[in-house]
Structure 1
């Protein structure tokens, strides 16, 4: 298991994420602020901790019970930060992420 670089830890800490243990000795970047108990994880495209701010990222939303709900991708951490704006409420962040997901879906070649 790779250690999370400090640059990445600091970047996501500003956005409200923290590194938490998950299953099988792995860790993930998690954000939990939902009154309903849902949470989101940020990973790279392989589902592990990101090792670069320049590589694509995935945001995955889970229910309070841990059931996967939906996910969306970002070309890099800067694009993610634009969507997951500091200072916004959890609801606004989730709304922005869902809107981003809809834009990606509507612009995909399979939808044209």
Structure 2
């Protein structure tokens, strides 16, 4: 009977772990904000370190309010490819996490 708790503990420690690996943090600079007049065209312009320009329609808090944001702003971001109707737009990203540099 003493081995049963040990086996259960080992099972729970080595069991299925379904969480995804978080994407790597990337250095970026928020350059500006543009208002889009057609679908998928407005948002924040980000200069990635050694990787070119991208556009994010929205940013997580506290960087979501353009009136309080002092540009250019150096940040670290995590991002992914967008889903939905704008997923085919070249250079568009969804920023999932953001923090100051």
Task: Please state which structure has a larger fraction of its residues in helix.
Answer: 1
TM-score scaled by length of structure 2 = 0.28
TM-score scaled by length of structure 1 = 0.26
Higher relative contact order (CA 8 A, sep 6+): 2
**Rg bigger for which structure?**
2
Task: Please state which structure has a larger fraction of its residues in strand.
Answer: 2
